[in-house]
A and B are shown apart, each in its own frame.
Chain A
Amino acid sequence: MSKPTSGRIAYVNARLLDPATNLDVMGGLLTEGEVITDFGEGYAKADGQYGDADIVDCQGACLTPGLVDIRVQLREPGEEHKGTLKSAGEAATSSGVTSMVCLPNTQPVTDDMSVVEFVARRARLLGLTKVYPYGAITKGLQGTDMAEMGMLSESGAVAFTDGVRAVASAKVMRKALAYAKNHDLLLVQHPEEPSLAEGGHMNAGALAARMGLSGIPKVAETIMVARDVRLAEDTGGRLHFAHISTAESIDIIRRAKERGVRVTCDTAPPYFSLNELAVGEYRTFAKLSPPLRDEEDRRAIIEGLKDGTIDIIASDHAPEDEDSKRLPFAQAAFGGVGLETLLAITLELYHNKHMSLLDCLRTVTCNPADIIGLSAGRLAVGAAADLCIFDPDRGWKIDADQLASKSKNSPFDGRLAQGRCLRTVIDGRTVFTLEQ
C-alpha cells in the first residue's frame, strides 16, 4: 500500500514524540516528497489545513523519528543463507527501524572501499531501511594491522569496529584510537578479553556449574572496558562499547564519563529483559555474546539506562540458521536476531515504569544517530521523512516463525510483548504497514 512519493502526505491525529526536543503533543506532520515540511500541535483531525495532501489518520498512535539501530549483522555478502540485506531490511522496517549500521564481519570483510560501496549500493536499490556500514579497525578483522580507516571513512564507513571480535592487543587498540582520532572517527569495541572468554559458553557462575557448561566470567568484559577506557583517556580517541552486560562495566563507564573521557556505550534488549536463566534447558537461542548475565547485572543495566550511562539500545541482530543453533549447547553459535523485537522489548522499560516514553525512545533515535554521526533520529523540518508510527499498548505474542528475518533464532520466541509498530515511513514512502 505504498503511496506515490511525489505528493504531500499529512499524518494527522498522532501523538508526536521527538526525544531530541522533548516534544510530546497531539498533532500532525506533513511530508512532501522525501522530507518533513511541517509538524506541530493541534492538527488532531483531518480538517483541511493540509490542503490537497493525502491524509493518513494515525488514530491517536505515536509518531516518532524512525529508529536507528547501530548493531546489525547482515550476513550479506557471503552468508546469504543466514540473512540478506532484503531480509534484514524487512525485519527492520517491521519494527520501525529506518537506519541501521551493519558490522563488517561479512565475507569479504568490510576492510576495503569496494565492500562499503557494494553494501551501500545494494541497500539503496532495495529502498528499505537505510544501511550504513562500519569499517574494520584491523585488516581481515585479524587484530594486528590497521585497516585503511581514513579512506574507508571517505568512501562511506560511518564508524569502525572489528565486529564480534575484540581488538585484543592493547598496543593495536592504542594505535587505532590514536589514528582514528586524527580523522575524528569513532571506534566501537566488542569488550571481551578473548583469553578469558575462550572455551566459555554462558555466564560463569552457579547456573553454569549446575548445567555443566564452561563459563565466560564477567571479568572478561570488565577487564577490557577498564583497559580501553584508559587507552581512550590516554589517546583522546573516541570509543564506544557495544552490548554492555555487567554491572561493573557500567560503573567503570560511569566514572569515565564523569572524568570527561570520550566514551559511550550501548546494550541490547536481552540484557535488560532476560537473565541467564533463559539458557536453562540448554536453549541455544538464548546463547548470546556476551552471555546473558545474572539478575543483579540485569537490574544494573536498567539503572545504567535510567541514569544515561548507557546511551543506546541496539538490537545486536545476529542471524544464525538452524544448522548453527540446533546443536548441543557447547557447539551452537552465539547470537540472536533482534530487529523485529527492538521496539517492543525497549518499550518494556516504559511499561515497567523504569523510564518515560521519551527517554526510552531517546536510546533508539537521537542518541544513536548523534553518536554515530547520522543526520537521523529527530523530527525536524527539512529532515528526511523517516518515521515510525506505533501503538505503545498493542499486545502481541512474539512468534519466531512469523519473523521477517531469514533466520529465526530469537531469544524472545513465545514472549508476550506490549507495543507494536503500525507503519514505517522511509524518505516519505510507506515501506511497512502492520496487517490488522
Chain B
Amino acid sequence: MSTRDRELRFTHRHLLGIEGLYPFELTDILDRAEAYAALNRQRAAVPAKLEGRTVINLFFENSTRTRTSFERAAKRLGADVINMTVATSSIKKGETLIDTAVTLNAMHPDVLVVRHGDSGAVELLAQKVNCAVLNAGDGTHEHPTQALLDALTIRRRKGKFTGLTVAICGDVLHSRVARSNIHLLNAMGARVRLVAPSTLLPSTLSVLGAEIFHDMREGLKDVDVVMMLRLQKERMEGAYVPSQREYFHFYGLDYDKLSYAKDDALIMHPGPMNRGVEIDSDVADDIERSAIQEQVEMGVAARMACLEVVTANLDQWRKENGL
C-alpha cells in the first residue's frame, strides 16, 4: 500500500460520527458502498471479508430497522452476529455502561455496533474496548451510517454534491440524523437549509453550518433535495407543536409545498414515516421523486462498507499495538 493510497482512505478504528471527517474519507466509504450496492442488487456473492469475525449489535434503545440493516450487512460479509438489546436486560440490574463494555470486551468481539439514548455514550464506550466501534445512533448527537446511506442515495440520483441545495425539514432539535447529515453535506460541498417551527429549530442550530427557515415554502424554494425528519408523537401534542394537524398544515410535505422545490427535487425520509404528519402519502409513494425505498436499500450497502473499513483498520491497530 503506497503512502498516497493510504492517505486517501478512511483510517480510523471507530466510526463515531461524521463531524471532523475529510471529504476523501467519506468518498472512500461511499465508493466502497457503491460497489456493494451494485453487487447486492445483482444478488451476487460478495467477498467474505468478515469471515470468522464477531459483530455484536449492542442496542440500548429499541430499533428494528437499523439493527436489521446492520445484521444483514454483517452477515452478507460473512461475520458471526450477536444481537443484544440491553434496554431490557443488565441495565435494569444496575450495570453501568462501562461495566457492560468491559464485559463484552472480554468476549473478544471485532466490531461493536452501538446505539444509545445518550449523546456521547458510544464514544465513552469506545474508549474502553479493544475492538472497532460503529455508532448506530447516540442520543441527539450523530447517526453516521444514516448520513452515509443518505449521501449514497443522493450521489446515485444527482451524481454530485457540489452546488446542490438540501433542505432538512422537521424536528431538527432532537435529530441525530440531521446533525450527521449537515456535517456530511457541508463537507461534500452542498448547501444545507433547515426548515421547522422555531420550537424545533432554535436559531443556535445555525452554528452547525446551515441556513434557518421557519416558513416551509420559503425554505423549499429551488432546493434539489427535500429530506424529511420524523416527528415523535409525544412532541406534537402541545410541548413543541400544538397538534398533528397543525404541524401537517404548516410543515407537512404535500405537493403544494413541494411545488416550491425544483421540479426534479428528490424526496427523502430516514423512516419510519408518520404519514399525514410530516409527509403526505401521495408524496412519500411518488415513484418518480421519492427515494425512501432506495434509502433502505443503500443502508445495507453503506453499512457493509463501514464494517469493511473499520475491520481492516482494526487489524492495523492490533498489529501496531501488538494485540
Q: Which residues of A contact B (CB under 8 A)?
A: 138-139, 144-151, 175, 178-179, 181-182, 235
- B199: A residues at CB distance < 8 A: 175, 178-179, 182
Q: What's the least CB distance linking B153 to chain A, in Å?
A: 30
- B250: A residues at CB distance < 8 A: 150
Q: What's the least CB distance linking B238 to chain A, in Å?
A: 2
Give the distance in Å from the alpha carbon of A181 to the alpha carbon of B215 in the complex. 11
Q: Which residue from chain B places its CB closest to the CB of A137 in the assembled complex?
A: B242
Known contacts A178-B198, A181-B198; A138/B246 CB under 8 A: no
A146 and B198 within 8 A (CB): no
Classify chain B's interface size. 10 to 19
- Determine which of B237, B239, B240, B249 lies in contact with A151 in the assembled complex, contact meaning CB atoms within 8 Å: B249
- A144: B residues at CB distance < 8 A: 238
A145 and B198 within 8 A (CB): no
Q: What's the least CB distance linking A234 to chain B, in Å?
A: 10
Q: What's the least CB distance linking B75 to chain A, in Å?
A: 45
- Determine which of B198, B202, B246 lies in contact with A148 in the assembled complex, contact meaning CB atoms within 8 Å: B246
- B239: A residues at CB distance < 8 A: 145-146, 175
Give the distance in Å from the alpha carbon of A235 to the alpha carbon of B198 in the complex. 9
Q: What's the least CB distance linking B165 to chain A, in Å?
A: 22
How many A-B contacts are there with CB distance less than 8 Å?
A: 47
Which residues in window 124-156 of B have CB below 8 A to A?
none
A148 and B243 within 8 A (CB): yes
Give the distance in Å from the alpha carbon of A175 to the alpha carbon of B199 in the complex. 6
Give the distance in Å from the alpha carbon of A153 to the alpha carbon of B198 in the complex. 17
Please give 6 more A-B residue pairs, beta carbons under 8 A apart, in addition to A139-B238, A178-B202: A145-B238, A146-B238, A146-B241, A151-B245, A175-B239, A182-B199
Known contacts A148-B243, A148-B246, A150-B249; A179/B238 CB under 8 A: no
Q: Which residues of B contact A (CB under 8 A)?
A: 197-199, 202, 214, 237-243, 245-246, 249-250
Give the distance in Å from the alpha carbon of A312 to the alpha carbon of B32 in the complex. 67
Q: What's the least CB distance linking B235 to chain A, in Å?
A: 11
Give the distance in Å from the alpha carbon of A154 to the alpha carbon of B297 in the complex. 41
- A179: B residues at CB distance < 8 A: 197-199, 241-242
B242 and A182 within 8 A (CB): no
Known contacts A148-B245, A178-B202; A138/B197 CB under 8 A: no
- B198: A residues at CB distance < 8 A: 178-179, 181-182, 235
- A138: B residues at CB distance < 8 A: 238
A148 and B242 within 8 A (CB): yes
B214 and A147 within 8 A (CB): no
